Structure formats: C-alpha cells, structure tokens
A and B are shown apart, each in its own frame.
Chain A
Amino acid sequence: SQTIHQWPATLVQPVGSPLSLECTVEGTSNPNLYWYRQAAGRGLQLLFYSVGIGQISSEVPQNLSASRPQDRQFILSSKKLLLSDSGFYLCAWSAGGANEQFFGPGTRLTVL
C-alpha cells in the first residue's frame, strides 16, 4: 500500500530564516505531487504541483519554491520566511488523470 510522509510535524521559525520541508511517498512510482498551504480557518491553497522529476508548476507567485529531485520526493523551500508564511503545509500525491488525491500528515509552521 502507499504511504506519504512529511517532516517535520511542527516547526517554529523566526522571520527571515530559511525553510525546507520534505515529503516522500512510498509504494507507488511516478506520482503527481502537490504542496498546499492552509491558513488558520481557511481553505486549501495550491502552491506547487509536479508531474515528474524536475517538473514544477507554480500556482501562486511568492517567496516559496519547490523541487523534485527524485521520483517520490518533493521539497518545499524558502530563503527568507515572512510572517504570512505561517500555516499548515500539506503534501499530497495522486496517480494522475482522474484519480483521487491523498494527503500526508502535514507540517504546522509558525513564523515569529
């Protein structure tokens, strides 16, 4: 069966510090991978998605970037965090096409 991991689970970072969040998927190959952010009490905001290694589509221009160095690894980064980057970051995968999407446990980021 497929599993999706994210780490860390929680993170508290000062404004201006760098960020690296990692997501890995097990039990499948060539998944579509997604990064979402959910601000407190808000809906899901799609940040990036990837259909293959090195292929990244950005949905919202901001100070975040994403990379996919391996087939089942997706990384979200920032060089300098802003207060507005606080939120619940969710990684998800799907098999592509019309298939459903499955979420990881999430990383709760607080920028102080």
Chain B
Amino acid sequence: QKEVEQNSGPLSVPEGAIASLNCTYSDRVSQSFFWYRQYSGKSPELIMSIYSNGDKEDGRFTAQLNKASQYVSLLIRDSQPSDSATYLCAVIRNTGNQFYFGTGTSLTVIP
C-alpha cells in the first residue's frame, strides 16, 4: 500500500467552476499535510499546509483534513486557466523528517 494516494486524473473543469482534488494516506501517525502545485517543466511550489482536522481557507483555495478517514482534499474555487497544473499531496509523520508525496493529479481548467 502506498503511503499517499491520489487519482492521477486528468481532471478537467470549466473556468469558474470548483475543482476538487483528493488524497488519502495510509499511516495514522501522519502529522502534517501539504498541497503543492507543479507547472509543466517547473519545480513544485507550496500552496497550502494543514495540520488539524477541518477546513483551512486561503484565497480561492480550501484544504480539508479528516484524520479519522485519513483523507485530505483541496478545493479550488472560481478555477482559472492558470490553475492548470499537477497538484501533489504530501504528508509527514510526527516520527521523522521524511515527506511522502502522492504521484499527483493533473488538472486542466477549460476557458
């Protein structure tokens, strides 16, 4: 079983819609959760971090964490063509320094 699993997509949404990206993780001792955006040919950039159950909002982005279900999601409201990228989910355990990344979900926002 992989540490972090994401649907690879591709996920396509029309401009202005809500994009929903999902991630599950296997280890219950996972402590911190991150979402990265990676444009084609570029390095990943951090867009959200979440540490406790519930929702965390930052502009058009909302991260949601449910530790009981071992599930973390990212919602992008009012999706723009510039949001088209691969989104990587990452977790870190409270027992070490190693990050575990999912393989990413490719998102395309259609104008």
Interface positions of A (Cβ within 8 A of B): 32, 34, 42-44, 46, 49, 51, 59, 90, 94, 96-106
Contacts and interface: CB of A to CB of B under 8 A. Distances in A.
Interface stretch (B11-19, B54-62, B63-71, B88-96): B88-96
Contacts of A90: 43-44
B91 to A, nearest CB: 10
Interface of B: 31-32, 34, 36, 42-46, 49, 51, 88, 90, 92, 94, 97-99, 101-104
Contact of B34 (A34, A46, A49, A101): A101
Contact of A101 (B46, B103, B104): B46
B98 A104 contact: no
Nearest to A106: B43
Contact of A102 (B31, B42, B46, B101): B46
B34 A98 contact: no
Contacts of B49: 100
Given A32-B97, A46-B98, A49-B98, A98 B43 contact: no
Contacts of B92: 98
Given A43-B101, A106-B43, 14 more contacts: A43-B88, A43-B103, A49-B98, A51-B97, A90-B44, A94-B99, A98-B31, A98-B92, A100-B32, A100-B49, A101-B46, A101-B99, A103-B43, A105-B43
Contacts of A100: 32, 34, 46, 49
B24 to A, nearest CB: 15
A76 to B, nearest CB: 15
A22 to B, nearest CB: 16
A98 B51 contact: yes
A43 B104 contact: yes
Contact of A98 (B32, B45, B101, B104): B32
